[in-house]
Chain A
Amino acid sequence: MIEFKNVSKIYGDGTKAVDDVSFTINEGEFVVLIGTSGSGKTTTMRMINRMIDSTSGEILIDGKNIKDENAVELRRRIGYVIQQTGLMPHMTVYENIVMVPKLLKWDKDKMRETAERLLKRVDMGNEFLDRYPQELSGGQQQRIGVIRALAANQDIILMDEPFGALDPITRDALQELVKHLQEEMGRTVVFVTHDMDEALKLADKIAIMSEGKVIQYDTPDNILAAPANEFVESFLGEDRLQQRSTMQTVDQVMVKTPITVTSDMTLAESIRVMRDRRVDTLFVTDMHHVLQGVVDFEGINKNRKKAETVSEIMSHVYYVKSGTLLSSVADKMLKRGYKNIPVVNEAGKLEGLVTRASLVDIVYDTIWGDDEEVESIPLETTQYQESE
C-alpha cells in the first residue's frame, strides 16, 4: 500500500510541481496518473522511489515513511520502466534483465532461471538472452524493459509513459501484456500517461492531475459516469462521455454455449464433434471448465498421425475477461484478425464466445435498428447496381 499524505514538491524557484497531494494506492492496484505535461504526474510517480524527494508531507509504503529508508535499497524493491526503455546498450538482454538481481547478489542459477522464465512469459525465446538491445525491435525492447522491472520480484512497479514511443499495434499488444502480467502476479503498478484511452484501458483507478493537484481519483467507470468538474469533462472529451452511455460489454452479445472438448479427448472424437456441431474450431477446457487452449480443423488434420489427444496439439488462445467492453474486443478482431474471442470469468472458466457474427448483429442493430428502414435497404442497393 502506498499512501501520499499532503505531499508537496516545491522547486528552488518557487514552482509548485506537486501541491498538497493525498491519496492511497492499495496493494495489487493498477493506478494510472494522467494529466497534461506539467501537471505533476511524473514528479508524483518519481517521488515514490525517491528519484525526487518531496518538499513536505509524507509518503508511506506499507506504513513506513520512505524517507527513513536508504534510497538505493528502496529503489531495488521498486520496479522502474521508462519511455526510452533505458536498456543498457553495452549489456546483453540477459545482463539487462538481471540488473537488479545482480545488485542484490543473487546466485547465477537463480538469475538464469528468472531471466528464462520471464522471457518466455513475454513470448520471447532463450535465443534472445545473448543478443544486444539494438538488435531488437522497439516492442521487443520494451518487453525486456518491462520484465527487467519484474525480475527481482518487486511488489511495486513504476512506469513512466512506457509505451509512448511505440506504434499503435505494438502499444496495444504491450498494454495487453502488462495488464495480464499485473493481474497474474498481483503487483501494484503506478503508471504515468497522457493518453486517456490507455488510462481507461489499463487502470483500476485513475488519478487525474492538473497543476500539481489531484482533481479526481476514482475508477474509470465512476470518472466517466460522474466527472468531478469541467476540467475532467474536457479532458475525457465529448466522445468518450457519449460512448459511455451506449457502451456494451461482451457479456451482452456473446454466444453462451461455445463448443468445447476436454483436453484428454482424442483427435478422432474431436473431429466427430466438429462434424456434428458444424464448427471448425473447438475450445479445450479442463474438468472444471477452465479454458486451456484451442484446436482447429487444420491443426487436427495436420497432426492426426503424430498426436493422440487434443492436449498435445492445442494452441494458446487470446481471451478476454467477462465485463470487457465490446468496443475493445471489436477493435481487436478488426486489427488483429481474430475470428472469435472467448470470454472467461475471474477464475478462467469459459463463459462464452464473441464471434464476428455477434459484431455483425451489433452493427446491424445500430445502423438499421428499425425494421422499416431495413426493408428500404435492398431497394437502394438494387438501384445502385442498375445505375452501374
Chain B
Amino acid sequence: MADFFANYGSQMMRLIWEHLYISMIALGLGVIVAVPLGIGLTRTGKLATAVIGLASILQTVPSLALLALMIPLFGIGQVPAIIALFIYSLLPILRNTYTGMRGVNPALVDAARGMGMTEMQLIRKVELPQAAPVIMAGIRLSGTYVIAWAALASYIGAGGLGDFIFNGLNLYIPELIIGGTIPVTLLALLVDFGLGMVEKKVTPRNQVSG
C-alpha cells in the first residue's frame, strides 16, 4: 500500500485531476445545452418527441464505439473525449428537464400567466423552482455516468484514471487496476454528494418533492 503510493502517488493525483477536469467540463456543457433545450422543448409540440428520441438513440451507441468514432472527427486527446462524454450527459438532463417542466401543476402555470407574468418570468419564478428537484436528479445521474465513462477516455489519449486501469490490464499489474478503479468510484460518489448539496440549495423550501 505504502509502496504503491510511493511509486504512483503523484501520478495518481495528476490523473484524478485530469479525470475530474474532463468529466466536469463535459457535464457543465451538458447542463448548459440540455437545460435550456429541455425548457425550449416544453414550448413546442411534436418537436419535443423527435429531439428526445434522437438523444435516446445517441445514448444507445456503445460508449467505447462513440469514443472511437471521435478519432476520425476530432483526432485524439481531451477534446474528443469531452465531446463524447458531453453527448452522453445530454439525455438524462434533457429528459428530466422536459418531464420536470411538464410536470409542474398546470393550475400554477395558469394562475401565474393569468396574473400577468411574461413567459420568462413564468419560467424563472414558477416552473424552474417547481421542476428543480427533477432537473437536479437528471444532472446527478449524468454526473455519475460521466465520471464512470471518463475512465474509458484514456483509450483515446485523454488521460484520467483510465490510464491506470488500462496500463494495469496491459501489463497485468492488479495494483494499478485497483488503484484506478477505487478513485473512480470515490470520485463518482463525491460528485453525486456535491450535486446533492446543490440540489438542496436550488430546491425551494417546502417543495412537495415528486
A binding-site residues for B, Cβ under 8 Å: 49, 51, 72-77, 80, 82-91, 99-100, 103, 132, 134, 148, 158
A82 & B107 in contact (Cβ 8 Å cutoff): yes
Nearest CB of chain B from residue A288's CB, rounded to whole Å: 40
A371 to B66, CA, bound (A): 100
Given A90-B129, A90-B204, A82:B115 Cβ within 8 A: no
B111 & A80 in contact (Cβ 8 Å cutoff): yes
14 contacts between A and B (CB under 8 A): A51-B114, A73-B116, A75-B113, A76-B116, A80-B111, A82-B110, A86-B110, A86-B114, A88-B126, A89-B108, A90-B204, A90-B207, A103-B115, A103-B117
**Interface assignment of B208: CB less than 8 Å from any CB of chain A:** yes
Given A86-B108, A90-B206, A80:B129 Cβ within 8 A: no
A134 & B206 in contact (Cβ 8 Å cutoff): yes
Nearest CB of chain B from residue A110's CB, rounded to whole Å: 18
User: A75 contacts which chain B residues (CB < 8 A)?
Assistant: 113-116
Contact code string B187-210 (vs A, CB < 8 Å = 1, else 0): 000000000000000001111100
**Interface assignment of B121: CB less than 8 Å from any CB of chain A:** yes
B110 & A90 in contact (Cβ 8 Å cutoff): no
Given A82-B114, A103-B121, A132:B205 Cβ within 8 A: yes
With beta carbons under 8 angstroms apart, the residue of A88, A100, A134 that contacts B116 is A100
Q: What's the count of A-B pairs with C-beta under 8 Å?
A: 67
A51 & B111 in contact (Cβ 8 Å cutoff): no
A352 to B44, CA, bound (A): 63
Nearest CB of chain A from residue B120's CB, rounded to whole Å: 11
A89 & B208 in contact (Cβ 8 Å cutoff): yes
User: B111 contacts which chain A residues (CB < 8 A)?
Assistant: 80, 82, 85-88
Nearest CB of chain B from residue A40's CB, rounded to whole Å: 18
Known: A75-B115, A80-B114, A89-B206. 4 other contacts (CB 8 A): A51-B113, A75-B113, A85-B107, A88-B126
B118 & A86 in contact (Cβ 8 Å cutoff): no
**Interface assignment of B23: CB less than 8 Å from any CB of chain A:** no
With beta carbons under 8 angstroms apart, the residue of A76, A84, A89, A134 that contacts B115 is A76
A86 to B110, CA, bound (A): 8
With beta carbons under 8 angstroms apart, the residue of B108, B110, B118 that contacts A88 is B108
Q: Which of A51, A77, A86 has the most CB of B within 10 A?
A: A86
B116 & A86 in contact (Cβ 8 Å cutoff): no
**Interface assignment of B144: CB less than 8 Å from any CB of chain A:** no
Q: Which residues from 77 to 117 on chain B have a C-beta closer than 8 Å to any C-beta of chain A?
A: 105, 107-108, 110-117
With beta carbons under 8 angstroms apart, the residue of B105, B116, B205 that contacts A103 is B116
A132 & B126 in contact (Cβ 8 Å cutoff): no
**Interface assignment of B154: CB less than 8 Å from any CB of chain A:** no
A31 to B115, CA, bound (A): 20
Nearest CB of chain A from residue B118's CB, rounded to whole Å: 5
**Interface assignment of B142: CB less than 8 Å from any CB of chain A:** no
Nearest CB of chain B from residue A335's CB, rounded to whole Å: 29
Nearest CB of chain B from residue A217's CB, rounded to whole Å: 24
Nearest CB of chain B from residue A103's CB, rounded to whole Å: 6
Q: Which residues from 134 to 170 on chain B have a C-beta closer than 8 Å to any C-beta of chain A?
A: none
User: B126 contacts which chain A residues (CB < 8 A)?
Assistant: 88
A134 to B125, CA, bound (A): 18
